[in-house]
Chains A and B, each alone.
Chain A
Amino acid sequence: MKRFFEILIQYKFLILALFIAISGFGYKAYKNIPVDAFPDITPKQVVIYTESVGNSAEDIEKLITYPIESAMSGLPGVKMILSNSMFGLSYVSIFFEDDLDTYLLRQLVTERLNTIDIPKGWGAPVMGPNTTGLGQVLWYALKDKEGKYTPSQLREMHQYAVTPLLKSVDGVEEVISWGGFEKQYEVLIDPKRLQAVDVTYNEVIEALEKSNQSVGGQYLEFNREQYLIRGAGLYGTMDDIRNTVIRSKKAKTVTIKDVATVQEGKAPRFGAVSVDGKERVFGMVLQRSGTNAAKVVESIKAKMPLVNAALPKGVSLDVIYDRTEITHKAVSTMTSALLTGSILVAIILFLFLFELRSAFIVIISLPISLLIAFLMMQEYGISANLMSLSGLAIAIGMIVDGTIVVVENSFRLLHDNPKASRAEIIAEATAEVAKPVLFALLIIATVFIPLLSLEGLAGKLYTPMALDIVFVMLGSLAVALLLVPVLSYMLLREGKHANSPLMRAIKAFYTPLLVFSLEHAKKLVLVTFFIFFILAGLLSQQGREFMPTLNEESIMYRVIAIPGTALTQSVENAQAIEKYILEKYSNDVLSVLSMMGRSEKGETAQANYMEVLLTLNPELKEIEALGKKMTRDLKEKFNYLQFVPTQPIAMRIEELLEGVSAELAVKIYGEDQKVMGGIAAQIAETLNDIKGLDHAEVETQLGQAQINIKPDYLALSRYGLSVAEVMQVIRYGIGEEAVTQKIEGVKRFAIVAKLKHAKQDINALKNLLLRSQSGKIVTLQEVCNITVVQGPAFIKREDLSRYMVLSIEVEDRDIATFVEEANEKIKQNVVIPDGYYIKWAGDFKNMQEATATLSMIIPITLLIILLLLYTAFNSFKKAFLILLGVPLGLIGGIVGLLISGEYLSVSAIVGFIAIFAIAILNGIVLVSFIDDLRKKFPDIKTIDLVKNATLLRLRPVLMTAFTTLFGILPLLYATGVGSEIQYPLSVVVTGGIISSTILTLLVLPGLYVLFFRKK
C-alpha cells in the first residue's frame, strides 16, 4: 500500500499532468453538457397519431385506433398503450421500458406501422415528433406591425418562410404552426345549378381529380439535339379551375364555372391562437430528444435575423416564451448555491487549518472533484439541471472530507518525524488513512443507491442526483488518494502544529461537556433515543406529498369549456379573458396569449380546451399572490368555464404522461361509455359518505353533439343513388376534404368542392339536394335517416380497453385507509356489470410504488453498509455502534422538517438519506481513531482513551461537519427558481448535520464506552 503511494510521488509530474488533463476535459464537459431545468422525465414513449379528417370518435376508434393498438401491443418492451380517439384524430401512445433506445423503438414502430390496414381515405398513421416533455423550447407569434396581411397570408408565411428556416437549425425536430387560417381554393357548388345542367356532384369531383395533373413525355430528337416533352396540366390559376370541363356533349360543354364559383377560402381548423384580444399566427419549436435545449435556442436566436429578413417588411417574429429562461434561472440558482457553498467551505477550511498550504490543497480538491463529476455526467448523458446540480451542492461538504483526512494525517506525521524522508512519510500517512477514506466514500456512495432503484417519475428525477453524488464522491476519492499525496509532497512544509484560535476556543468550551457526557453516558443515550422515537412518531403524522412543484415564475391556465364548444365560441371566450386580464391587471401583465384547440401536429386537445399564458411585468415580485387573486377573479367572472392554474413545463409533462394527474383516481374499464359513466356516478355517490373526501369528479367523455346521417338503402335504391355517392357528398361537399391540390411553387393548397349553404344549419343539411346519375333529385333526408344525438367527445383506452376516470381529492386523511374504506363501500353498494372492472390510480399509486421499492431497498442497503463497516473494522459491534449514530443525525432532520412545516416529500427523504451518510461518516472518523489509540495504548482506561481521542479528533469531525453544513447552507437560503424543490432537502440536511455533529461529539463517545467498557 505504502509502496503504491511512493510510486505515485515518484511520478508526481505524470500525476499532475494527468489531473490537469482531466480537469481540462472536465471543464470542456462542463461547458458542453446539456443544460436543462429538469432531468428528462419523459417516459420512453412513441406516439402515433392519425389525422382522419372529419371522422367521429367512434369510427376512428374502430377503424384506426384499434388496428394500431393491436399491432403495437406485440412489440418488445411495451409497458402500456394509451389511446385517445376523438373527432378527426386518433392518438396512440406506446410506453416502453426505459432502458430501450429511442431510435430502435421508432424503427420497430415504423416496421409495424406498415402492416396496419386502415381504410383508404381515412388518413395515414404518423409517428409523433421525437421530442420530450420539455421539448417545446420556444414559442413565438408573427408580428405584423402595419396590419397589412390577413391571417391566411401570415399563416402561409409561417409555413413556407419561417418553418423551413427554423427546421434546418441543428436540434430542431419540428416547428408547429398554430393559429391563423390555412388557405384553400373553394369550388363552391350550387346544387340547383347541378340539376339545371344535368351533372352530378360526383362528376364534378371526378373532373377536378382528373384535370389537375402533370406528366413527363420523355424527349424527341431534333437537329441533333434533345427536346424534353412535358405535359403541364397542373392548375396554374383560378381560371384553370373554373374552366375545367365536367362533361361535353357535341358543342355543349359544362364547366366548373357553370355550376360553381371558385374562390379563395379558409380551411376548417381545429385550433386558433389569440394574443391580447387579436388572433395571431403562432409557432412552436420542438427540440429533438437528447439535444441541448440551451444550444438549440441559442442557434435559433442566431437565425432570427435571417428569418426576419425572409419575411416581408413589417412582419417579424415575436418571442413569447423561451423555455431556456427558466432553465438558466434554475441552473443559476444551483450554480450560485454551488459557488457560494465552495467559497464558504474554503473559508471554513482555512479557519480550521490555519495554514495556507494545507488549506490550498484541500480547496483545490473541490473544483477538481467537481470537474471529474462533470466529465462523468457527460459520459453518462446526464444533463446539468436542478436535480443533478443539487446533488453536487449536497456533496460539496463531503467532497473535501477525504482530502482533509489525508492532508491532516500527512501534516501530523511530518510534524512528528521531521527527519525522515518526506516522500516516505507522506506515503505512510496516506496509506494509514487510505482504508477509512475508501470505505467512508464507498459507504456514502452506497447510501444513495436506494435512490437509483426508484422507478417512474421519482426515479427519473432523483436518479441523476444520486448518480451525481456518486460521481463526485468517486472523483473526490481519486483526488484524495492520487492527487493529494503528490500535492502534499510538493507543497506541505513541516511547521508548527498550527492550532487555530478558533479551535482553541472550541476545545475550551467542549472539554467539560465531553467529560460530563462521558460520566452520564447511559442516561444521555437513553434520553437521546427516547427523543428520537418521539420525533419519529411525530414524523409519521406529518403530511406527505410526492413532489414539491417547481415554481416556474409564470402564470398559466388551462381553461376548459363544455365538450362540444365551437371554436368560434372558444375564440370569443379567449379574447374576453385576455381583455379582462389586461384591463384588470394592467400594471402586472404585459400580454396574454391563448392557444385554443390543437395545432396540426397530433395534439389531443379539442376546441373546448385552451391554454392561457401571461407575460408578466419583469419587475413583478409577488407572482404567487397575484396568481391566486387572478384565479379567483377569473373563476368568478367567467363562471361558465373551468380554470386550472398550471405552469408551462408542468403542463407539458402532464400532457405527455397522458395518464391521470389527480392525486387519487378510480379508472373504470369497460365497453359502453354510458355504462361506465353510470358506474362512475354510482361510485362518486358512494364515496360521498366517506370521511375525508374533498370532491370526486367524473371525466365527461360524452357530450359531443353529432348529426348522424345513416343511409336508407331502400330509399337509395329507389332513386338510383349509391351509398358511395352519398358518402362522397358528405366527405367532400360537406366535410371539405381536399379533392386535389393546387401547387404553387413549393406551396400546396387544397382544392375543395364545397356545396353551397350546406352547413348553414341542420335544416339546410337535411335539405341538401342530391342528384343521381339517372337524374333523380332528392334531398339528403329523403335517402338518409338524419338524427341528432349526443355522442362521445373522445374515447380513451388503456391496453386495448376503454376506460373512464373518476378523479378524487382527499383531504385530512391518509389516502391508504381512504382507499381501503372506499373499496369496501364500493363492493357493497355499486353493481359492476360483467365485463366492467375498476382500478385505483393516480399520484398516490406512484408514491405507494416508490415507498414499496424503498422499503425493499433500504434494508438491503443497510445490510451492505453493515458489511462494509464490518470489512473496515472487522467487528460487528463497531459496525453497529456506528449505525446507532444514524438516529442521532435523523433527530435534527426531523426537527428541521417539523419546524419549517414542510411536507414529507421525496426531496425530504433524500435529505434524510444524506444525513444517514454524514452520520456514518462522523462515526467512522471517531471510532477508527479511538481504535488506533487503543491499539497504541492498550493499557489506558477506555473512558480516558475515548476522551483523549475525541478531543484529538475534534478538529476533523468539526471540519467535516462544518464544511457539509456550509456547503448546503446556500441551498437553504436560495430564493431563485427551483429553490423550492430543494428546500425540504436542505432543511433536513441542515438540521441533521447540526444534531449529528453535536451528538457524535457527545453521545457517540459515551456509546463507545458503554459498548467496550468491559474490555
Chain B
Amino acid sequence: MIKTLLLLLPIFGFSNNIILEHAQIKPLGKVIQTNAQITQLSDQKQEVVSRLSGHVEKYFVKAGRKVKEGDKVALIESLELSKMSAEYLSLLEQLKAAKTQLSTSEKLYRKGLNSKNELNSYIIAKQEIAAKKNALASQLSSLGIKTADLKATTDQFMLYAHADGVVGKILVPLHSNVDAQTSLMTLVNQSGYYALAYLSLDDAMKVTQKTTGYVTVAGEKYAAHFVQLLPTIDEETQRAKVLFQIEDSPKNLLLGTYTEMEISFEPSANVLMVKKSALTLFQGEWVVFIEAHHDGHEEKAEHENEAQEEHEDHDHDAHEDKHDAHSDHEEHEEEESPYIAKVVKILAYTGDYVAIEGIDTEDEYVSEGVYFVKSMLLKSSLGGHGH
C-alpha cells in the first residue's frame, strides 16, 4: 500500500503557512454520539442471609435505610462461630507443638538417634494439622472474619451488606434464633437509572467492559458505564440496544427522555496518527505530504524535476529581465527542500486526528498549509506524474 507520488517542488519563498510535525503513535479510541433513552430497571430485591446459626443480637439498620456494600447490618451471637474460633485457636496451638516436635525429631534424625520412619510420622502429623487449620481459616474468611486478627474465641458475627441498596423489611425479630439459611432482611437495589443507547450494529459489536460515556439531560452531563449489550435488537429502529448505568444519578431523571449520549470506546491498539488537516485528495488518492529524505532514488527524481522546474520558470519569466530570472534560479537551488506526497489509507477518524497507514513514525509531515504544498505541486508539474 505504500505508494509514493514522486512530485517534488522547490520551496523558495514558501510562506510561514506551512507547519511540519512528527507523526504520533497514539491509542485509537473512538467517540460517537448517539441517542439514548433514560430508563430504570425493575427493582432488584435481594435478601441478607444469616449465614451462621445463632442468635440475632443487634441490627445496625432499620427498614428504609440506604446502605452501601460493606456497611454493617447485623450482629449475630453464634455458638457455631465460637466453636469454630475455638477450634481454630486450638489448631494453631497444635500446629505450633507439631512444628516443635518435628524440628526435634529432625535434629535427632541427623544425629542418627531417630529412624526415618519416625521422622516421617511427625511430618505427616504436622501437615494434617496445618490442613485442618487452613480449611477452617478459609471458612472463617468467607464469613468475613480475618483469621490473623483472631486472638481469642469469639461468638460475635458481624453481618455486612453485600450490595448497595435500601433495607426493605426486617424479617427476623431481634434476639431470635436463626439457622444458617435464614433471611434476615431484604435489600432493595435502587441505584438503577440507566441509559439505553441505540447504536449501529457496527458500533455495538465494539462495545467492551471498559466502554464509558455520558448522557446529557437538561444541559447536565452524567457519567455512565457499560452494563450490558442487550441480546435483542430494537425491531422498529433496527439498532442495537446497549445498557449503560448512570453513575451518581440525581434524585429524579425523567424516565423515557431521549437524550444525547456520547460514548467513548476502549482505546484499541496504538496506531499512527496525523492531524486531520494534513489530509488532501491528490490525483484521486488520499495523501499526506512528508519531507523528503535525500536518498538515492528520490534524489534522482528530484533532479529531473528540478530541470523541468527551471525550464518552466524561465518560460514564465521569458518576458522579464534576464538578470532577474538568473538570480531567481540561484536562490532556488540553494533552498531546495521538497515534499513528497505519500498515499495513505485512512483507518479511522478520531476528533482532530486520523489514524492512517502509509507513512513512518520518523516522518515529518505537513500538518498545516497542505493547500499551499498541493498548489505548488499541481502548478509546476502538469502532466508529469509517476508512482
Contact = CB atoms under 8 A, between A and B. Distances in A.
A562 B378 contact: yes
Contact of B200 (A639, A684, A779): A779
A698 B14 CA distance: 25
Interface string A973-987: 000000000000000
Given A192-B35, A761-B276, A698 B383 contact: yes
Interface residues of B, number: 43
Contact of B383 (A196, A681, A790): A681
A941 interface: no
Given A196-B35, A789-B284, A719 B238 contact: yes
A778 interface: yes
Interface string B323-365: 0100010000000000000000000010000000000000000
B236 A695 contact: no
B298 interface: no
A642 B372 CA distance: 12
Nearest to B348: A763
Given A637-B13, A694-B315, A698-B383, A196 B258 contact: yes
B237 A763 contact: no
Contacts of A775: 236-237
B200 A782 contact: yes
B239 to A, nearest CB: 6
A798 B324 CA distance: 41
Chain A at the B interface: SS class: mixed
A227 interface: no
Contacts of A563: 378
B320 interface: yes
Contacts, number: 91
Contact of B375 (A641, A774, A788): A641
Contacts of B384: 681
Contact of A640 (B317, B379, B382): B379
A824 interface: no
A811 interface: yes
B286 A788 contact: yes
A569 B13 contact: no
Interface in A561-608: 561-565, 569
Contacts of B349: 761, 763
A562 B379 CA distance: 7
B299 interface: no
A192 B378 contact: no
B137 interface: no
Nearest to B375: A640
B376 A777 contact: no
Contact of A695 (B14, B315, B379): B315
A685 B238 contact: no
Interface stretch (A334-342, A628-636, A1000-1008): A628-636
A774 B12 CA distance: 61
Chain B at the A interface: SS class: mixed
A788 B349 CA distance: 15
Given A192-B258, A565-B371, A694-B318, A778 B238 contact: yes
Given A196-B258, A790-B283, A703 B200 contact: no
Interface in A677-728: 680-681, 684-685, 694-695, 697-698, 700, 703, 705, 718-719
A776 interface: yes
B284 A640 contact: no
Interface string A781-792: 010000011100
B157 to A, nearest CB: 53
A631 B237 CA distance: 61
B315 A809 contact: yes
Interface residues of A, number: 47
Interface centre among A639, A681, A776 (most CB of B within 10 A): A639
Given A695-B311, A761-B276, A639 B371 contact: no
Contacts of A631: 320
A195 interface: yes
A703 B378 contact: yes
A246 to B, nearest CB: 16
A632 B321 CA distance: 10
Contacts of B237: 195, 775-777
A695 B376 CA distance: 18
A635 B325 CA distance: 12
A639 B315 contact: no
Contact of B382 (A700, A789, A811): A700
A387 to B, nearest CB: 26
Contacts of A788: 281, 286
A719 B234 CA distance: 12
A561 B375 CA distance: 7
Nearest to A197: B258
A705 B281 contact: yes
B244 interface: no
A700 B378 contact: yes
Interface centre among B311, B315, B317 (most CB of A within 10 A): B315
A811 B282 CA distance: 33
25 contacts: A195-B237, A196-B35, A196-B258, A562-B379, A631-B320, A632-B324, A637-B13, A639-B12, A639-B13, A639-B376, A640-B372, A641-B375, A680-B383, A681-B383, A684-B383, A695-B312, A695-B315, A719-B238, A761-B276, A761-B349, A774-B236, A777-B238, A789-B284, A790-B282, A790-B284
Pairs of residues from A and B, 10 with the lowest C-beta to C-beta distance, nearest first: A640-B375, A790-B284, A196-B258, A695-B315, A681-B383, A705-B281, A775-B236, A777-B237, A763-B349, A776-B238
Given A681-B383, A694-B318, 16 more contacts: A192-B258, A195-B198, A562-B378, A562-B379, A636-B13, A639-B13, A639-B14, A640-B376, A642-B379, A698-B383, A700-B378, A705-B281, A718-B238, A719-B238, A776-B238, A788-B286
Interface of A: 192, 195-196, 561-565, 569, 628, 631-632, 635-637, 639-642, 680-681, 684-685, 694-695, 697-698, 700, 703, 705, 718-719, 761, 763, 767, 774-779, 782, 788-790, 809, 811
Interface of B: 12-14, 32-35, 198, 200, 236-239, 258, 260, 276, 281-286, 311-312, 315-320, 324, 328, 349, 371-372, 374-376, 378-379, 382-384
